[in-house]
Structure 1
């Protein structure tokens, strides 16, 4: 790509932490505990611990790799460099395809919090186009808007926790029992569902070419963002169980709204709804940035059309990749409802981190920041959580990877034919 404009290192540690938090403390915190409670009852707290441990292992692998390869693309780049073209491609493919569906889901989730049903699809498209425009005009604008979204979300969560604990008649007896609580499989499934609340730290690594002093900044930002997210999720989970109990939590479509309503805090419900809308926007903004950079990296290597590798000469962002992403996500929003049908995204993310752990395991002593057993534990955790996902998610996720293998196989065959003719 000689002669092409390059991305610019403009993000400091606080910017990187905020982008990671914007990805992790997204709309999931307002709904994920209901599905986790349905799987494990109060055992979701054990699932949360398991998810946090696996996330930490994966975070250390990503941090160690990002310090050595501070380039856009995250695990796609690490997989190619350490394991070969195919593992890298499959990690990048799972991330781009799965997270594109997640973008549509976040846009629809925002609209569900913000406007009546008849307006939701056009408002969701407007959100996609607006945030794509923010990303288009530079990564520092992305970081500034993410700061605002994270601040609003944390305020809404603080209000919900305070209302629940002070007025919701919390009962420690509700921390046990509930649907599915007796089964190990249910706990593991809840861990698999909760894991994706923490997966946003990958966004920091995918933006490695735009971080200042990346060998120092990226590892620090990943660990800091993950640590803050774990604390926030633990406080919210305990509050929801204390005030609602596992049974009511499992049946709730808006758990935190129910927490404040049960506490007689009807005044707080609008604050929580605004927080849910801001969380969805923050997650969508970070997703667009992360997918754009991974698409850029894949296009540079020819694993996606090379014209997507263009960087805007003024704003220094992968503008073609982000424009195409906005168009595709808008089309999905207008034609499908993906809020409850993106299980394959979960499957793809676990494969993504499996590749990251294996790649980090191959690094030598000179590049090692964390012990190898963390990567072994992380890889085993990814496999365990993947196989305990609902079978529909595993089936669709496997189909997505089969499609990716076929795509790359056809592309390589066509390239060889052109080379033979030439």
Structure 2
């Protein structure tokens, strides 16, 4: 195989429809099948309030990301925007938060797939095999990934539509109310934000979409709006069928809420949805890794583009191998909280960057919302998130000193 490290630009192959589907594949994934349970545990009957807050913050983030992507249509998302608008360090911190947070998300999605299709003792190995298979798919070219994501999203939406209809038709459970807790509502919003965060993947594909100044600002809000409609429908159906107490007690609430004959289909749909999320996550993380390596913030060897397939193959292989190792040796039950903290940091920097473009209310609301939700997450997630971000700062200082020494 002939490799050409000098090739460092990606081919523009994706249209608006492809970008929307990649965003949907990132957002309508395992989160819609699992995130409502811990969110209901935090907010009770006020679950929809948490969903509304998460949606408002996500909208602000999406709007800020769209404005920035139109100005800077390059791979890397907020890693690029932060560098251009706030300075090199803030761009690096955003990129670091995205890479480590979404790497944890990749592992969580892979383990979710395995949880639905494999016996407990085999789940780590099945998860690792899934990660390596999807890495190979991405290695062959982004067009194949977009096509696979389109199929997965279509099947997932059909399963969810049938599940919602079945839940409303079956009858409702105990809908007793719970006391309003501001902290609980905010924590539920932070957990549900994890399920919304996939539109970042559209921005990280800035070098691979046609006419990015027009395509990205259109694709992000379309994908977010469609996702919100699906989430509201599922949340209402779950509250109607199970009530907040039962909803909070199940790991697999959608499968528990539908008639027993539908449960196997729902479980298969949940596994497929997690697969779709993982596909898009690996795609996005590898693009940000590629951009950071190209700028010397990660080893430059990761900045190569395959001369035949036109993808950042070394970055993709590195991400895939790291995630495969994580699923083999790490218990990632707290991965969602950690990932949420890191990704909210990423979007806080995005909103601060967007404010320098247009000093309007949207980036301010987004920035404040990200900070509040991040520190409303469980204490363990906040502590771990701060520690990992601090480690990222040390990495930045090391690479900065090396760059100065070499110059």
Q: CA deviation at 1:411?
A: 1.9
Say if 2:327 is the partner of 1:316: no
Residue in 1 that maps onto 2:215: 217
Matches within 5 A, 1:278-297: 278-297=272-291
**Stretch of structure 1 that moved more, 337-346 or 213-222:** 337-346
Contact 2:338 2:385 in 1 (8 A): yes
- Superposed CA deviations along residues 28-54 of structure 1, whole A, max 9, x for unmatched, are 111100100100101010010011011
Deviation for aligned residue 1:2:
9.5
Equivalent residue number for residue 374 of structure 1: 362
Aligned with 1:268: secondary structure?
Answer: helix
**Matches of 1:338 and 1:322, distance apart in 2:** 21
Structure 1: unaligned runs, 5 residues or longer? 365-370
Aligned: 1:409 with 2:403? no
- What is the number of residues matched between the two proteins? 404
For 1:17 and 1:411, how far apart are their aligned partners in 2? Answer: 36
Q: 2:17 & 2:400 partners in 1: Cα distance? A: 41
Pairs within 5 Å for 1:81-230 = 81-167=84-170, 169-170=171-172, 174=175, 177-178=177-178, 181-230=179-228
CA distance in 2, matches of 1:37, 1:5: 46
Partner deviation per Cα, 1:34-78 (whole Å, 9 max, x = no partner): 100100101010010011011000000000000011100000000
User: Hey, what does 2:353 align to over in structure 1?
Assistant: 359
Contact residue 5 and residue 316 of structure 1 kept, 8 A:
no
Deviations 1:154-173, CA, capped at 9 Å, x for gaps: 11111211111111x126x7
CA distance in 1, matches of 2:392, 2:101: 12
Matched residues in 2 for 1:322 and 1:377: separation?
Answer: 34
* Counterpart in the other structure of 2:247: 249
Q: TM-score scaled by structure 2?
A: 0.97
- Mapped to 2, the partners of 1:413 and 1:13 lie a distance apart of 41
Quick check: 2:37–2:248 contact (8 Å CA) kept in 1?
yes
TM-score, structure 1 normalization: 0.93
Q: 2:8 and 2:57 mapped to 1: Cα distance?
A: 38
Residue aligning to 1:12:
15
CA 202–341 in structure 1, closer or farther in 2 if over 3 Å, else same: closer
Quick one: which of 54, 64, 74 aligns to 2:57? 54
Shift of 1:342: 4.1
The Cα offsets for residues 231-261 of structure 1, whole Å up to 9 and x where unpaired, read as: 000000010001100000111111001111x
How far off is 1:267 after superposition?
1.5
Q: Does 1:33 align with 2:21?
A: no
Q: Which residue of 2 aligns with 1:68?
A: 71
**Structure 2: distance between partners of 1:341 and 1:351:** 15
